Structure 1
Amino acid sequence: MSYSLSQAANTLLFNLVMELKSGNIRRCEALGLEPEEMRMLRELSSDDLLYLSESKVSVLDVRIHHENLSLMLTQARREQKRLERIDRALALGASIEMMQTYFGLEASEVSARRRLEGIQTRKGRSSAPEEDKESALWQQWREAGMVSPESAEGLDVMMLMAEEQNVSLTTVWTRVKMWCRTNAAGAEEVA
Protein backbone atom coordinates (compact mmCIF):
# COMPACT_ATOMS: atom_id res chain seq x y z
CA MET A 1 0.00 0.00 0.00
CA SER A 2 1.35 3.43 -0.88
CA TYR A 3 2.26 5.89 1.86
CA SER A 4 -0.52 8.36 0.95
CA LEU A 5 -3.12 5.58 0.89
CA SER A 6 -1.81 4.33 4.22
CA GLN A 7 -2.15 7.84 5.66
CA ALA A 8 -5.71 8.12 4.32
CA ALA A 9 -6.62 4.80 5.94
CA ASN A 10 -5.02 5.89 9.21
CA THR A 11 -6.93 9.18 9.05
CA LEU A 12 -10.11 7.13 8.86
CA LEU A 13 -8.93 5.20 11.91
CA PHE A 14 -8.31 8.51 13.71
CA ASN A 15 -11.88 9.59 12.86
CA LEU A 16 -13.18 6.31 14.25
CA VAL A 17 -11.31 6.97 17.49
CA MET A 18 -12.98 10.38 17.72
CA GLU A 19 -16.37 8.71 17.14
CA LEU A 20 -15.63 6.25 19.95
CA LYS A 21 -14.54 9.00 22.33
CA SER A 22 -17.88 10.73 21.57
CA GLY A 23 -19.75 7.52 22.35
CA ASN A 24 -20.76 6.74 18.74
CA ILE A 25 -19.96 3.09 18.16
CA ARG A 26 -22.23 2.29 15.20
CA ARG A 27 -19.74 3.34 12.53
CA CYS A 28 -16.99 1.30 14.19
CA GLU A 29 -19.26 -1.74 14.40
CA ALA A 30 -20.21 -1.30 10.74
CA LEU A 31 -16.52 -1.42 9.79
CA GLY A 32 -16.04 -4.64 11.76
CA LEU A 33 -14.20 -3.50 14.87
CA GLU A 34 -14.51 -5.93 17.77
CA PRO A 35 -15.62 -4.62 21.21
CA GLU A 36 -12.14 -5.20 22.65
CA GLU A 37 -10.55 -3.25 19.77
CA MET A 38 -12.98 -0.39 20.34
CA ARG A 39 -12.06 -0.27 24.04
CA MET A 40 -8.35 -0.20 23.18
CA LEU A 41 -8.85 2.59 20.62
CA ARG A 42 -10.95 4.63 23.03
CA GLU A 43 -8.15 4.51 25.61
CA LEU A 44 -5.41 5.79 23.26
CA SER A 45 -3.46 8.84 24.39
CA SER A 46 -2.84 11.84 22.13
CA ASP A 47 0.75 10.61 21.58
CA ASP A 48 -0.59 7.21 20.53
CA LEU A 49 -2.97 8.90 18.08
CA LEU A 50 -0.18 11.01 16.62
CA TYR A 51 1.96 7.92 16.14
CA LEU A 52 -0.90 6.06 14.41
CA SER A 53 -1.74 8.96 12.11
CA GLU A 54 1.87 9.30 10.93
CA SER A 55 2.59 5.60 10.64
CA LYS A 56 3.48 4.17 7.23
CA VAL A 57 1.90 0.90 8.27
CA SER A 58 -1.82 0.68 7.74
CA VAL A 59 -4.14 -1.26 9.99
CA LEU A 60 -6.97 -0.96 7.50
CA ASP A 61 -7.41 -2.85 4.27
CA VAL A 62 -8.70 -0.70 1.42
CA ARG A 63 -10.40 -2.53 -1.44
CA ILE A 64 -12.53 -1.50 -4.36
CA HIS A 65 -16.03 -2.91 -4.49
CA HIS A 66 -16.16 -3.35 -8.26
CA GLU A 67 -19.91 -3.87 -8.56
CA ASN A 68 -20.68 -0.72 -6.56
CA LEU A 69 -18.09 1.25 -8.53
CA SER A 70 -19.69 0.14 -11.79
CA LEU A 71 -23.16 1.08 -10.52
CA MET A 72 -21.93 4.48 -9.33
CA LEU A 73 -20.23 5.22 -12.66
CA THR A 74 -23.38 4.22 -14.55
CA GLN A 75 -25.47 6.45 -12.29
CA ALA A 76 -23.00 9.33 -12.74
CA ARG A 77 -23.27 9.02 -16.55
CA ARG A 78 -27.07 8.88 -16.32
CA GLU A 79 -27.11 11.99 -14.13
CA GLN A 80 -24.75 13.80 -16.51
CA LYS A 81 -27.10 13.05 -19.43
CA ARG A 82 -30.05 14.27 -17.35
CA LEU A 83 -28.24 17.55 -16.58
CA GLU A 84 -27.35 18.00 -20.25
CA ARG A 85 -31.01 17.44 -21.15
CA ILE A 86 -32.09 20.00 -18.56
CA ASP A 87 -29.67 22.59 -19.92
CA ARG A 88 -30.73 21.87 -23.51
CA ALA A 89 -34.44 22.12 -22.63
CA LEU A 90 -33.90 25.44 -20.85
CA ALA A 91 -31.85 26.81 -23.74
CA LEU A 92 -34.70 25.87 -26.09
CA GLY A 93 -37.24 27.80 -24.01
CA ALA A 94 -38.85 25.17 -21.78
CA SER A 95 -41.35 26.63 -19.33
CA ILE A 96 -41.30 26.08 -15.58
CA GLU A 97 -44.32 23.80 -15.93
CA MET A 98 -42.50 21.73 -18.53
CA MET A 99 -39.37 21.48 -16.36
CA GLN A 100 -41.53 20.33 -13.45
CA THR A 101 -43.25 17.73 -15.63
CA TYR A 102 -40.14 16.19 -17.18
CA PHE A 103 -37.49 16.73 -14.53
CA GLY A 104 -39.34 17.38 -11.28
CA LEU A 105 -37.63 20.76 -10.86
CA GLU A 106 -39.15 23.43 -8.66
CA ALA A 107 -39.69 26.94 -10.00
CA SER A 108 -36.80 28.28 -7.92
CA GLU A 109 -34.43 25.64 -9.35
CA VAL A 110 -35.50 26.48 -12.90
CA SER A 111 -35.01 30.19 -12.28
CA ALA A 112 -31.59 29.64 -10.72
CA ARG A 113 -30.43 27.47 -13.63
CA ARG A 114 -31.67 30.07 -16.12
CA ARG A 115 -29.76 32.81 -14.31
CA LEU A 116 -26.59 30.71 -14.25
CA GLU A 117 -26.88 30.04 -17.98
CA GLY A 118 -27.83 33.64 -18.79
CA ILE A 119 -31.14 32.57 -20.33
CA GLN A 120 -33.68 35.37 -20.69
CA THR A 121 -37.38 34.51 -20.76
CA ARG A 122 -40.33 36.54 -21.80
CA LYS A 123 -43.40 36.87 -19.61
CA GLY A 124 -46.76 35.39 -20.51
CA ARG A 125 -47.89 32.52 -22.67
CA SER A 126 -45.87 31.24 -25.57
CA SER A 127 -47.09 32.40 -28.94
CA ALA A 128 -48.56 30.03 -31.50
CA PRO A 129 -46.21 29.17 -34.35
CA GLU A 130 -46.85 30.45 -37.84
CA GLU A 131 -49.01 28.16 -39.98
CA ASP A 132 -46.12 26.82 -42.08
CA LYS A 133 -44.05 26.07 -38.96
CA GLU A 134 -46.98 24.39 -37.26
CA SER A 135 -47.46 22.22 -40.33
CA ALA A 136 -43.76 21.31 -40.34
CA LEU A 137 -43.90 20.54 -36.61
CA TRP A 138 -46.93 18.27 -37.09
CA GLN A 139 -45.17 16.48 -39.94
CA GLN A 140 -42.04 15.91 -37.80
CA TRP A 141 -44.09 14.61 -34.89
CA ARG A 142 -45.98 12.16 -37.12
CA GLU A 143 -42.79 10.99 -38.83
CA ALA A 144 -41.20 10.33 -35.44
CA GLY A 145 -44.03 7.89 -34.74
CA MET A 146 -44.56 9.18 -31.22
CA VAL A 147 -47.91 8.55 -29.54
CA SER A 148 -47.40 10.69 -26.45
CA PRO A 149 -45.07 13.52 -25.46
CA GLU A 150 -44.75 12.18 -21.92
CA SER A 151 -41.68 9.98 -22.38
CA ALA A 152 -37.98 10.85 -22.47
CA GLU A 153 -38.00 9.90 -26.15
CA GLY A 154 -40.95 12.23 -26.73
CA LEU A 155 -39.02 15.04 -25.07
CA ASP A 156 -36.00 14.35 -27.28
CA VAL A 157 -38.17 14.49 -30.41
CA MET A 158 -39.75 17.76 -29.27
CA MET A 159 -36.33 19.30 -28.54
CA LEU A 160 -35.16 18.34 -32.02
CA MET A 161 -38.33 19.85 -33.49
CA ALA A 162 -37.78 23.10 -31.56
CA GLU A 163 -34.18 23.30 -32.80
CA GLU A 164 -34.99 22.53 -36.43
CA GLN A 165 -38.03 24.82 -36.66
CA ASN A 166 -36.52 27.57 -34.49
CA VAL A 167 -39.49 27.80 -32.11
CA SER A 168 -39.55 27.55 -28.33
CA LEU A 169 -39.76 24.13 -26.77
CA THR A 170 -42.79 25.21 -24.76
CA THR A 171 -44.59 26.10 -28.00
CA VAL A 172 -43.77 22.67 -29.43
CA TRP A 173 -44.90 20.95 -26.23
CA THR A 174 -48.18 22.90 -26.18
CA ARG A 175 -48.92 21.95 -29.80
CA VAL A 176 -47.98 18.30 -29.35
CA LYS A 177 -50.19 17.97 -26.25
CA MET A 178 -53.07 19.53 -28.19
CA TRP A 179 -52.57 17.13 -31.13
CA CYS A 180 -52.41 14.14 -28.80
CA ARG A 181 -55.62 15.19 -27.00
CA THR A 182 -57.35 15.72 -30.36
CA ASN A 183 -56.21 12.31 -31.60
CA ALA A 184 -57.31 10.63 -28.36
CA ALA A 185 -60.73 12.31 -28.55
CA GLY A 186 -61.07 11.23 -32.20
CA ALA A 187 -60.17 7.65 -31.32
CA GLU A 188 -62.82 7.60 -28.56
CA GLU A 189 -65.49 8.83 -31.00
CA VAL A 190 -64.62 6.05 -33.46
CA ALA A 191 -64.84 3.41 -30.71
Structure 2
Amino acid sequence: MITPVNNKLNFSLLTIALELMEQGKIKWLIDIGFNEEQLIKLKSIPYLQLLELSNTSVNFLSFKLNVPVFDLLLKTSSDNTRKTEMCDRAIMLGASNEILFKYFGLSTTEISTKRFLLNVHVTRGRSKKPNFEESEAIWKKWVELVKDNPLLNEVDDFNRLDAFMIVTESISLFFSPNNQEVDSEQEYLSLTSIIKEIEKHLLLKK
Protein backbone atom coordinates (compact mmCIF):
# COMPACT_ATOMS: atom_id res chain seq x y z
CA MET A 1 0.00 0.00 0.00
CA ILE A 2 1.37 3.40 -1.05
CA THR A 3 0.91 6.18 1.48
CA PRO A 4 1.98 9.86 1.68
CA VAL A 5 4.86 8.65 3.86
CA ASN A 6 6.05 6.30 1.10
CA ASN A 7 5.87 9.16 -1.40
CA LYS A 8 7.99 11.39 0.84
CA LEU A 9 10.54 8.62 1.34
CA ASN A 10 10.69 7.97 -2.39
CA PHE A 11 11.19 11.66 -3.12
CA SER A 12 13.83 11.99 -0.38
CA LEU A 13 15.80 9.03 -1.77
CA LEU A 14 15.71 10.37 -5.30
CA THR A 15 16.81 13.89 -4.30
CA ILE A 16 19.60 12.43 -2.14
CA ALA A 17 20.68 10.32 -5.10
CA LEU A 18 20.84 13.42 -7.32
CA GLU A 19 22.84 15.35 -4.72
CA LEU A 20 25.34 12.50 -4.29
CA MET A 21 25.78 12.20 -8.03
CA GLU A 22 26.47 15.92 -8.27
CA GLN A 23 29.22 15.40 -5.68
CA GLY A 24 30.56 12.35 -7.47
CA LYS A 25 29.68 10.08 -4.55
CA ILE A 26 27.88 7.13 -6.10
CA LYS A 27 29.27 4.20 -4.09
CA TRP A 28 26.45 4.32 -1.51
CA LEU A 29 23.87 4.45 -4.31
CA ILE A 30 25.41 1.37 -5.92
CA ASP A 31 25.49 -0.37 -2.53
CA ILE A 32 21.75 0.15 -1.95
CA GLY A 33 20.81 -1.27 -5.36
CA PHE A 34 21.08 1.35 -8.12
CA ASN A 35 23.07 0.42 -11.20
CA GLU A 36 25.09 2.80 -13.35
CA GLU A 37 22.53 2.88 -16.19
CA GLN A 38 19.74 3.84 -13.76
CA LEU A 39 21.86 6.60 -12.23
CA ILE A 40 22.66 8.04 -15.66
CA LYS A 41 18.93 8.14 -16.53
CA LEU A 42 18.03 9.57 -13.11
CA LYS A 43 20.56 12.36 -13.47
CA SER A 44 18.98 13.61 -16.65
CA ILE A 45 15.25 13.42 -15.81
CA PRO A 46 13.27 16.66 -15.42
CA TYR A 47 11.72 17.71 -12.11
CA LEU A 48 8.15 16.79 -13.12
CA GLN A 49 9.26 13.26 -13.94
CA LEU A 50 11.00 13.10 -10.56
CA LEU A 51 7.68 13.96 -8.88
CA GLU A 52 5.89 11.34 -10.95
CA LEU A 53 8.42 8.70 -9.90
CA SER A 54 7.95 9.68 -6.25
CA ASN A 55 4.18 9.41 -6.47
CA THR A 56 4.10 6.12 -8.38
CA SER A 57 1.64 3.47 -7.24
CA VAL A 58 4.49 0.97 -7.04
CA ASN A 59 6.70 1.13 -3.96
CA PHE A 60 10.36 0.89 -5.03
CA LEU A 61 11.85 1.73 -1.66
CA SER A 62 12.25 -0.81 1.15
CA PHE A 63 12.40 0.88 4.56
CA LYS A 64 13.02 -0.95 7.83
CA LEU A 65 13.97 0.29 11.28
CA ASN A 66 17.10 -1.20 12.85
CA VAL A 67 15.55 -1.65 16.28
CA PRO A 68 18.68 -2.51 18.34
CA VAL A 69 20.64 0.43 16.90
CA PHE A 70 17.73 2.83 17.33
CA ASP A 71 17.21 1.71 20.95
CA LEU A 72 20.91 2.25 21.63
CA LEU A 73 20.79 5.73 20.07
CA LEU A 74 17.71 6.57 22.14
CA LYS A 75 19.45 5.52 25.34
CA THR A 76 22.64 7.41 24.43
CA SER A 77 20.63 10.51 23.61
CA SER A 78 18.71 10.24 26.88
CA ASP A 79 21.92 9.77 28.87
CA ASN A 80 23.57 12.75 27.19
CA THR A 81 20.52 14.95 27.82
CA ARG A 82 20.42 13.93 31.49
CA LYS A 83 24.15 14.62 31.80
CA THR A 84 23.75 18.11 30.29
CA GLU A 85 20.79 18.90 32.54
CA MET A 86 22.71 17.68 35.61
CA CYS A 87 25.74 19.76 34.66
CA ASP A 88 23.65 22.93 34.28
CA ARG A 89 21.92 22.20 37.57
CA ALA A 90 25.26 21.68 39.34
CA ILE A 91 26.55 24.99 38.00
CA MET A 92 23.41 26.80 39.14
CA LEU A 93 23.91 25.33 42.61
CA GLY A 94 27.46 26.63 42.84
CA ALA A 95 29.62 23.66 41.88
CA SER A 96 33.33 24.40 41.89
CA ASN A 97 35.63 23.87 38.90
CA GLU A 98 37.03 20.77 40.59
CA ILE A 99 33.58 19.19 40.94
CA LEU A 100 32.60 20.02 37.36
CA PHE A 101 35.82 18.51 36.08
CA LYS A 102 35.46 15.41 38.25
CA TYR A 103 31.91 14.53 37.15
CA PHE A 104 31.72 16.07 33.66
CA GLY A 105 35.33 16.45 32.53
CA LEU A 106 34.85 20.13 31.74
CA SER A 107 37.85 22.39 31.16
CA THR A 108 38.05 25.81 32.82
CA THR A 109 37.15 27.45 29.50
CA GLU A 110 34.07 25.26 29.08
CA ILE A 111 33.03 25.97 32.66
CA SER A 112 33.40 29.73 32.18
CA THR A 113 31.34 29.58 28.99
CA LYS A 114 28.58 27.54 30.65
CA ARG A 115 28.46 29.89 33.64
CA PHE A 116 28.21 32.87 31.30
CA LEU A 117 25.36 31.27 29.34
CA LEU A 118 23.55 30.38 32.58
CA ASN A 119 24.20 33.86 34.02
CA VAL A 120 25.98 32.39 37.04
CA HIS A 121 28.47 34.66 38.77
CA VAL A 122 31.14 33.17 41.04
CA THR A 123 32.27 35.23 44.02
CA ARG A 124 35.93 35.13 44.96
CA GLY A 125 37.07 33.82 48.32
CA ARG A 126 35.83 31.01 50.48
CA SER A 127 32.24 29.91 50.15
CA LYS A 128 29.90 29.91 53.11
CA LYS A 129 30.31 27.00 55.53
CA PRO A 130 27.33 25.40 57.27
CA ASN A 131 26.69 26.25 60.90
CA PHE A 132 25.82 23.57 63.46
CA GLU A 133 22.09 23.58 62.69
CA GLU A 134 22.68 23.45 58.94
CA SER A 135 25.26 20.69 59.33
CA GLU A 136 22.79 18.53 61.23
CA ALA A 137 20.06 19.19 58.64
CA ILE A 138 22.44 18.30 55.80
CA TRP A 139 23.38 14.96 57.34
CA LYS A 140 19.77 14.17 58.24
CA LYS A 141 18.68 14.72 54.64
CA TRP A 142 21.56 12.61 53.38
CA VAL A 143 20.66 9.72 55.69
CA GLU A 144 17.09 9.86 54.35
CA LEU A 145 18.35 9.54 50.78
CA VAL A 146 20.72 6.70 51.68
CA LYS A 147 17.81 4.69 53.10
CA ASP A 148 16.33 4.62 49.59
CA ASN A 149 19.70 3.98 47.92
CA PRO A 150 22.38 2.51 50.23
CA LEU A 151 24.95 2.62 47.40
CA LEU A 152 25.15 6.40 47.74
CA ASN A 153 27.63 5.89 50.56
CA GLU A 154 29.72 3.52 48.49
CA VAL A 155 29.65 4.52 44.82
CA ASP A 156 30.72 7.97 43.66
CA ASP A 157 28.73 8.38 40.44
CA PHE A 158 26.00 10.56 38.91
CA ASN A 159 23.47 9.13 41.35
CA ARG A 160 25.57 10.40 44.24
CA LEU A 161 25.96 13.80 42.55
CA ASP A 162 22.19 13.94 42.08
CA ALA A 163 21.74 13.19 45.78
CA PHE A 164 24.23 15.94 46.67
CA MET A 165 22.16 18.37 44.59
CA ILE A 166 18.90 17.26 46.19
CA VAL A 167 20.40 17.96 49.62
CA THR A 168 21.66 21.37 48.45
CA GLU A 169 18.27 22.36 47.08
CA SER A 170 16.49 21.11 50.17
CA ILE A 171 18.80 22.90 52.62
CA SER A 172 18.84 26.15 50.64
CA LEU A 173 15.04 26.23 50.60
CA PHE A 174 14.65 25.15 54.24
CA PHE A 175 16.94 27.84 55.62
CA SER A 176 15.73 30.65 53.38
CA PRO A 177 13.27 33.18 54.93
CA ASN A 178 9.77 31.68 55.28
CA ASN A 179 10.96 28.72 53.20
CA GLN A 180 10.75 30.84 50.07
CA GLU A 181 13.02 30.40 47.06
CA VAL A 182 16.56 31.60 47.72
CA ASP A 183 17.28 35.13 46.57
CA SER A 184 20.06 35.20 43.98
CA GLU A 185 21.78 37.97 45.97
CA GLN A 186 21.74 36.31 49.38
CA GLU A 187 24.57 34.13 50.60
CA TYR A 188 23.68 30.47 50.47
CA LEU A 189 25.27 27.09 50.94
CA SER A 190 26.70 26.05 47.61
CA LEU A 191 26.80 22.54 46.21
CA THR A 192 30.53 22.56 46.89
CA SER A 193 29.99 23.35 50.59
CA ILE A 194 27.32 20.66 50.90
CA ILE A 195 29.52 18.03 49.28
CA LYS A 196 32.44 18.87 51.59
CA GLU A 197 30.15 18.65 54.63
CA ILE A 198 28.70 15.27 53.63
CA GLU A 199 32.13 13.88 52.73
CA LYS A 200 33.38 15.00 56.16
CA HIS A 201 30.60 12.98 57.82
CA LEU A 202 31.35 9.97 55.60
CA LEU A 203 35.02 10.07 56.58
CA LEU A 204 34.08 10.17 60.26
CA LYS A 205 31.94 7.07 59.79
CA LYS A 206 34.84 5.02 58.43
**Structure 1 position 172 matched with structure 2 position 178:** no
User: SS of 1:84's equivalent?
Assistant: helix
Letter of the 1:168 counterpart: S
**2:100 corresponds to:** 99
User: What are the within-5 Å matches in structure 2 for residues 1-191 of structure 1?
Assistant: 1-3=2-4, 5-30=6-31, 32-33=32-33, 37-44=34-41, 47-48=44-45, 50-55=47-52, 56-57=55-56, 59-143=60-144, 144=146, 145=150, 146-148=152-154, 150-166=156-172, 167-181=189-203, 183=205, 187=206
More divergent stretch after superposition (153-162 vs 124-133): 124-133
Q: Give percent identity, aligned residues only.
A: 22
The change in CA–CA distance for 1:15 and 1:49 in structure 2 (over 3 A counts) is farther
Taking structure 1 as reference, are residues 148 and 44 closer, same or farther at Cα in structure 2, changes over 3 Å only? Answer: same
Distance 2:29 2:42 in 1: 19
Distance 1:171 1:151 in 2: 18
Query: What is the deviation of 1:168?
Result: 0.9
1:129 Cα offset (Å): 1.7
CA contact (8 A) 2:18 2:43 kept: no
| 2:35 aligned counterpart, secondary structure | helix
TM-score by length of structure 1 reads 0.73
Describe the superposition over 1:111-131 as per-residue Cα deviations: whole angstroms up to 9, x where unpaired. Answer: 333333332322234232223
* C-alpha displacement of 1:159: 0.9
1:44 maps to a residue whose letter is K
Q: Secondary structure at the match of 1:44?
A: helix
Counterpart contact for 2:18–2:42, Cα < 8 Å? no
Task: State the 1:85 CA deviation.
Answer: 1.9
* Structure 1 vs Structure 2 CA RMSD: 2.9
* Distance of 1:149 and 1:67 partners within structure 2: 29
Which amino acid letter does the alignment assign opposite residue 134 of structure 2?
A: K
Structure 1 residue matching 2:81: 3-state secondary structure: helix
Task: Return the offset for 1:49.
Answer: 5.2
Deviation per CA, 1:64-98: give whole Å up to 9, x if none: 33343333333333333333322322221112221
In the alignment, structure 1 segments of 5+ residues that lack a partner are none
Q: Per-residue CA shift, 1:107-156, capped at 9, x if unaligned?
A: 33333333333323222342322232123323433452532472222112
**Equivalent pair of 1:162/1:169 in contact (CA under 8 Å):** yes
Structure 2 length-normalised TM: 0.69
Quote the Cα distance in structure 2 between the aligned partners of 1:66 and 1:52: 34
Aligned length: 180
Once the two structures are superposed, residues 16-49 of structure 1 have per-residue CA deviations (whole angstroms, 9 ceiling, x without a partner) of: 244245432332244x22xxx3312442365415
Deviating beyond 6 angstroms after TM superposition, the runs of 4 or more aligned structure 1 residues are: none
